[in-house]
Structure 1
Amino acid sequence: MPPGILTLAADKVTLSPANTGFMLICSALVMIMTPGLAFFYGGMVRVKSVLNMLMMSFISLGIVTILWVLYGFGLAFGTDKGGFIGWNGSFAGLSGIGLTELWGTSTIPVYVFAVFQLMFAVITPALISGALADRVKFTAWALFIALWVTIVYFPVAHWVWGEGGWLFELKVIDFAGGTAVHINAGAAALGVLLVVGKRIGFKKDPMRPHSLPLVMLGAGLLWFGWFGFNAGSWLGNDDGIGAVAFVNTQVATAAAMLGWLAYEKLRHGSFTTLGAASGAVAGLVAITPACGAVSPLGAIAVGAIAGVLCGMAVNLKYKFGYDDSLDVIGVHLVGGVVGSLLIGLFATGGVQSTAKGLFYGGGFEQLGRQAVGVVCVLLYSLVVSYVLAKAIDLVMGFRVGEDEEVAGIDQAAHAETAYDFAGAGGGTVGRRGPALGEAQTKKVEA
C-alpha cells in the first residue's frame, strides 16, 4: 500500500475477478506466515517452552481477528481524522460494506482488502513474542496484544497506509510494512523487554534451539508466505509492479541469506542452519518496504547489506545486556530500519513512484522522508509499548514466577508438553502386546 497507489480515475474502475482472486490467495499466504512464525520461533526455544512459544503466535490469530472486525479496520483505514487515525462507522463490524463495493480506486472489493490487511495486523504483534520467550504470563501477553494493536498498530497503519495519514502524505515509501510492521514490532519488543527483564540464567546457562528442523520449516513457510505479503500489497498486477515486488522479494532474501552466512563464517568459522534461516528472514524484512521501489540489482544490495548488518546486530544484546530471546530487535527492528533507509539510496523512480534515491539522482529528499518515518514509528512504538507493559506489570504481573520459569511454562500455562518422550521410547505389556515378557517389558520401560 505505497504512496501513489490511488492513481486510477474512479469512473473507470470496475471489479477485476483476476485481481480479486489473486488477493484472496495473497491473504491466505500472509495468514500462513503466522503459523510459520510459530514454528520458526518454536524451534529456537528450549523444549520446556515450545508450546508456549507456538501459542504466543497462534493467540494473535484469535484476538486480532475479532478486534479488527469490531473496530480495527475502521481505525486503520477509515476516513482520516487529522492525519493520525481514521474512522468509518460502516467499517465497524464490517456490517455496512456492500458485497461488491470496491476499495478506493482499486479493482478489488472492500472485504478483500480488509481481510488482506487483517493478516498484517495478526502477524505484527506475534513478531514481538520472540523477544519474550520463556518468561511471560500467557494472560498478560494476550492482554498486551489487545491493547497494543489498538493503541499502536492500528494508528501506525493509518499513518503509513491510510489515505490522509501523515506519513502517507509525507510520501514515506513503505510498500508492505518496513515501518508499520517490522520497526513497529521490533521497537515494541525493546519496550517490553525493559519492563520484563532477562531470563533466569541469561549469559550463564545454555539456551540453544531445541529443533533446528522446525526453525528451517518455519523460515521456509515465512519465505513462501512473504510473496503474498509483498506482491499482494499492490492490490493487483495490472501494471506489473506486483511482479517486480515478487522478484525483488526472492532476490533480496537470497542475498541476505548469503550475506549472513558469509559474515557468520568469518566471525564464527561455520555456516549454520540457524544462520541461513535468520539471514533469509532478515532479507525478507529489509526488502518489505523497498520491494516496489528498487530494481533487482538494488534488491541484491538491500538484501546483502541487511544480512550482514542484522547478523552483526544480534550480538548487541550480549554487549548491552538486554535479553532479546530470539533476536526480534536484531532482525526485525534493524532489518526494518535498514530496508526503509536504503530506499533513500536505491529507489529508481521507475517502479511504484517517481521518487528517486541518492544513487539515482534524487538527492537526499527521499532519504530524509524515510528517516522521519523510521524515527517517528520507532519512538512511538517504543514509548507506548513500554508504558503498556509497565501498566500490565503493575496490575497483574507480566512475568511468571521463578519456579514456573525454571520448570518450563508449557506445563504451568498449558498443562501440556510438546514431546511425549516416555511414550515414544517405552511401553507396557498392554501397549506392546503379549509377546513381550515381564522382564523384557521392564527393560524397555527402563
Structure 2
Amino acid sequence: MPPGITTLAADTPTLSAANTGFMLICSALVMLMTPALAFFYGGMVRVKSTLNMLMMSFISLGIVTILWVLYGFSLAFGSDVGSILGWSSDYVGLSGIGVTQLWDGYTIPVYVFAVFQLMFAVLTPALISGALADRVKFTSWALFITLWVTVVYFPVAHWVWGAGGWLYEMGVIDFAGGTAVHINAGAAALGVILVIGKRVGFKKDPMRPHSLPLVMLGAGLLWFGWFGFNAGSWLGNDDGVGAVMFVNTQVATAAAMLAWLGYEKLRHGSFTTLGAASGAVAGLVAITPSGGAVSPLGAIAVGAIAGVLCAMAVGLKYRFGYDDSLDVVGVHLVGGVAGSLLVGLFATGGVQSDAKGLFYGGGLDQLGKQAVGVFAVLAYSLVVSAVLAFLLDRTIGMRVTEDDEISGIDQGEHAETAYDFSGAGGGAALRTAGSAQGSTAAARTKKVDA
C-alpha cells in the first residue's frame, strides 16, 4: 500500500471522482469482511459458542472505529516521529481535515483514505479472536482490543505503510497487509493463547464445527470483500496496478484452495468443505502482501505453496500443545509469512515497484528485506500481545469460569443462544437449562459435542 508522499507543486493532483468512488466502494467491501469473518468463525465453533464468536468480531467495528477517529489515524499515518510512530494534531478526532483536502500525492480525499484504512484496523484484531474461541471473557476481550490496537496495530501500520516508517523506508513490500494485518494478528493470537491456556477438553472432546454452511458463507463473503481489501490498496486504478492485484487475488485464492484440497485428499482421504474454505482464506492471506509485485503465474505459485504450507501448519497445535481454536496461527501467521517471503522470489519488478525477486534476477536483496519485515512484526506482536494478555489475566482475568466454558459461553457471557429449537418460549427454557447445566458441568465434560 503506498503511503502519503510529497509531490512538487507542479505535480499536485486534483480530485478524481472516479478514484474517490472506487475507494469508497472498496472501503465498504473491506467493512463487509468483518461480519464475513464472524460468520466464518461462527460456523467453525460448537453451537454453544456461536454468538460469542460472532460478537468477538462484531465488537471490533465499534471499539476500533472510535479509537481510530480519536487518535489511531494520527498514530498510524500522521507525520513521522522517529520512524516508529506518526502524529498530526489535525488528524486527532479528524478535526483538522478539509472536506476536499487530498491525501498527499493521490487523487482521493484524506477522509476517504482514513475510512479505507479504518476498515483494515477493524478487521485485524477480529482475526485474533478465532484463536481464543470458547474461553475468553467478553469484557476482557474488549479491553484487549483497545490496548492491542493502540500499542501494536497503530505503530506497526506506521512502520509498514506510513511515510517515514522504518520498514517502508527499508523497501519492504507489503501491498495490502501481509505483515501489518495477517502476521500481526497471527503472532498476537499465538502470544495470547500461550498465556491463557487450552480449552477444557482440548485433544479429548470432539470440537467439530457446528455449521459448515455458515463457514462456507463466511468464506465466500471474505473472498468477495477481499477484492476491495487488495485492489483498493493502490488507492486508485489510473495505472492498472489495482487491476493486476484483482486478478492475482482471484488466481492465488483458487490455487490455494485446490492445493489445500489436494493435500487433504492425499493426507486424510477426503475433500472437505472446511478444507475448501480454509484453503481459499490461506490463498487470500498469502497474496495480500505480494499480489501487486508478481505476475498471474507467480500468483498461482504463491497460492499453491501457501495452500499446502497452511494445510500442514494447522496440525502443529496438536504436536506442540497450543490451543489455536480456529487455526489463526496456521492460516494467518503461516500464510502471511509465506506470502511476504515469496515476494523475494517472485517479484517481477515490472508492476508495483522496480524490486525484483530471486527468480527474476534480483538476487537475495529483496528476500532479505522481506525477512526483516516478517520477523520484526512477528516478534513485536508476539511479545507485546503476550504481555497484554498476562496483565489482563492477572488483573481482571481473561477466562470465563470452567462451568461457563463447559455449559456454554453464549449463556454465561451474553444470556442468549444462537438457535431456539423449542418453539415459543424456548429462550427462557434454554436459559433455565443452561443454568442447570452449569451446576453439573463436571459430570458433562466428556459428553460435550455441541
CA RMSD of aligned residues (A): 1.2
1:120-269 equivalences in 2 (<5 Å): 120-269=120-269
- Counterpart CA distance in 2 for 1:243 and 1:375 is 30
Q: CA deviation at 1:47?
A: 0.4
> How much identity, in percent, do the aligned residues show?
83
**Structure 2 counterpart of 1:360:** 360
Is the 2:7–2:104 Cα contact (8 Å) retained in structure 1? no
**Structure 2 counterpart of 1:400:** 400
**Structure 1 counterpart of 2:18:** 18
Secondary structure of residue in 1 paired with 2:103:
coil
User: Normalization by structure 2: what TM-score?
Assistant: 0.93
- Counterpart CA distance in 1 for 2:302 and 2:353 is 18
- Counterpart CA distance in 2 for 1:203 and 1:117 is 39
**Structure 2 counterpart of 1:419:** 419
Deviations 1:14-57 (A, max 9, x none): 00000000000000000000000000000000000000000000
**Structure 2 counterpart of 1:343:** 343
Q: CA deviation at 1:423?
A: 1.4
Is the 1:29–1:229 Cα contact (8 Å) retained in structure 2? yes
Distance 1:6 1:240, change over 3 A: farther
- Counterpart CA distance in 1 for 2:274 and 2:424 is 27
Query: If you compute each CA radius of gyration, which structure gives the higher value, 1 or 2?
Result: 1
**Structure 1 counterpart of 2:275:** 275
- Counterpart CA distance in 2 for 1:309 and 1:423 is 46
Secondary structure of residue in 1 paired with 2:238:
coil
Distance 1:184 1:84, change over 3 A: same
Is the 1:43–1:212 Cα contact (8 Å) retained in structure 2? yes
Deviations 1:119-144 (A, max 9, x none): 00000000000000000000000000
Is the 1:9–1:105 Cα contact (8 Å) retained in structure 2? no
Secondary structure of residue in 1 paired with 2:106:
coil
Amino acid at match of 1:413: E
**Structure 2 counterpart of 1:434:** none
Secondary structure of residue in 1 paired with 2:423:
helix
Amino acid at match of 1:139: T
Amino acid at match of 1:142: A
> Which consecutive unaligned segments of at least 5 residues does structure 1 have?
427-446
- Counterpart CA distance in 1 for 2:209 and 2:424 is 21
Is the 1:187–1:333 Cα contact (8 Å) retained in structure 2? yes
**Structure 2 counterpart of 1:289:** 289
**Structure 2 counterpart of 1:433:** none
1:313-392 equivalences in 2 (<5 Å): 313-392=313-392
**Structure 2 counterpart of 1:98:** 98
1:30-45 equivalences in 2 (<5 Å): 30-45=30-45
- Counterpart CA distance in 2 for 1:411 and 1:11 is 62
Is the 2:80–2:164 Cα contact (8 Å) retained in structure 1? yes
- Counterpart CA distance in 1 for 2:425 and 2:282 is 38
Is the 1:2–1:352 Cα contact (8 Å) retained in structure 2? no
Secondary structure of residue in 2 paired with 1:98:
coil
Is the 1:176–1:230 Cα contact (8 Å) retained in structure 2? yes
User: Normalization by structure 1: what TM-score?
Assistant: 0.94
Distance 1:81 1:222, change over 3 A: same
- Counterpart CA distance in 2 for 1:95 and 1:204 is 54
- Counterpart CA distance in 2 for 1:424 and 1:133 is 30
**Structure 2 counterpart of 1:72:** 72
Secondary structure of residue in 2 paired with 1:293:
coil
Amino acid at match of 1:35: P
Secondary structure of residue in 1 paired with 2:422:
helix
Deviations 1:387-438 (A, max 9, x none): 0000000111000000000000101111110000111899xxxxxxxxxxxx
Matched, 1:301 2:294: no
Amino acid at match of 2:204: K
Is the 1:2–1:176 Cα contact (8 Å) retained in structure 2? no
Secondary structure of residue in 2 paired with 1:86:
strand
Q: CA deviation at 1:11?
A: 3.3
Is the 1:73–1:92 Cα contact (8 Å) retained in structure 2? yes
- Counterpart CA distance in 2 for 1:127 and 1:209 is 18
Amino acid at match of 2:337: V
Deviations 1:72-104 (A, max 9, x none): 000000000000000000000001000000001
Amino acid at match of 2:10: D
